[in-house]
Amino acid sequence: MYEHFETGAIHDVHERNAFGALAAPIFQTSTFVFDDAKQGGDRFAGVDDGFMYTRLGNPTVRFLERKIAAMENAEACVVFSSGMGAISGTLLTLLSSGDHIIADPVLYGCTFALMSHTLPRFGIQVDFIDCSDIRAVTAAMRPNTKAVYFETPANPSMKIMDIQTFCAAVHGAKADCLVITDNTFATPYLTRPLGLGADIVLHSATKYLNGHGDVVAGMAAGDASTMAQVRSVGHKDITGAVLSPNDAFLLLRGIKTLKYRMDIHCQNAQRVAEYLSRHEKIERVYYPGLPTHPGHEIAKKQMGQFGGVISFDIKGGFENARGLIDNLDMCVLAVSLGDVETLIQHPASMTHSAYSRQEREAAGFTDGLIRLSVGLENAQDIIDDLEKGLKTVFI
């Protein structure tokens, strides 16, 4: 392990291959040849840890898992073919009918749909409780509470959780209750939740870890025993959400520049957030880098920088939000985040459309909220595009 993140992202977990290739080779194969029947049997029995079938393991994919585990200071990692694959595969491994889970109400829309609509179908009880109210969370815990789940920064309101304080309280109330956190917005460059007491960290690796908008992937990281369960149950048997070797290769390439991309994302986002916070037509800006953000001091404590995503309410609500989005030239109207391009979208009708109006209000975000994933363009060009759009809306 190297002291500096950027060096570790490039050099940690390096393996020599048969031909001495600098980049990890793409092992684009579905199955693997055994030397003899005994070796095949030993591999399926777990006596020999060699490869058998790419759904069960692949050298390119396994190299990526070791790389991400090192970045998150985890014992092990399992990568999936999507972020939702990682979330559902992990939860369905660890939860059974009759179990109880507590989740913060501010979640990615598909995560919220999984917890509010799908898990209850299988007899898994879910309570949505504001996880910033630690007393409310611990008071709601039951003997069958198996996990507490939250995001920080949370999508789309940029809510910040005090990971260390929260984990200590939950584990103090129930030592075997797992704390699971989605670290997509922060990345391991800005925050490492496992070092703050979390048990499992999840990512949509589609976003910043890849960074170029050409891969869909997810990951779970934690202790070796738990990840072995996730691999053998949620990954292998329940979801089959296997990442392709080619996508693993692209992720390995993207990770090498994560530090440098995140630096610019964060610097640009700070400038854009400050611009929006001063604009007379913007009702409110949600960005932890602003001193007015309620989680600013916590973010200063647990994040190296404040991230690349901003949310804001425009005066006039939904109609003006749609008007602004439709009158931009450079900012791209698209969901997802963490790409080199600046992406803008409307959560209530897009990524968080699974929420009802009442559920959105309970989670603390409005129909007029806009989410902006600030890219790597020149910050002034992003600001100029937003200024032009705002002038068009407010003629």
Conformation bin of residue 309: beta by default, left when phi > 0, alpha when psi is -120 to 50: beta
Q: List Cβ neighbours of 48 (8 Å cut-off, separation of 6 or more).
A: 39, 42
Q: Can you tell me the distance from the alpha carbon of 161 to that of 90, in angstroms, rounded to the nearest whole number?
A: 21
* Buried b / exposed e along 53-67 (16+ C-beta atoms within 10 A): ebebbbbbbbbbbbb
| Catalytic residue of the set 2, 38, 55, 260 | 55
Count of helix runs (H) and strand runs (E) in the chain: 15, 12
| Catalytic residue of the set 159, 207, 231, 261 | 207
| Catalytic residue of the set 43, 104, 108, 313 | 108
Helix H or strand E segment including 260: helix 258-278
**Hey, what are 340's tokens?**
């080199």
Q: Can you tell me the distance from the alpha carbon of 264 to that of 385, in angstroms, rounded to the nearest whole number?
A: 18
Determine contact, residues 200/222, Cβ cutoff 8 Å: yes
- The residues with which 221 forms a beta bridge, in sequence order, are 77, 201
49 belongs to the catalytic site = no
Determine contact, residues 168/197, Cβ cutoff 8 Å: yes
208 belongs to the catalytic site = no
Q: List Cβ neighbours of 200 (8 Å cut-off, separation of 6 or more).
A: 90, 178, 179, 180, 181, 220, 221, 222, 226
127 belongs to the catalytic site = no
207 belongs to the catalytic site = yes
Per DSSP, 24 falls in state P
| Catalytic residue of the set 104, 162, 182, 199 | 182
Which residues are catalytic, by number? Answer: 55, 108, 182, 207
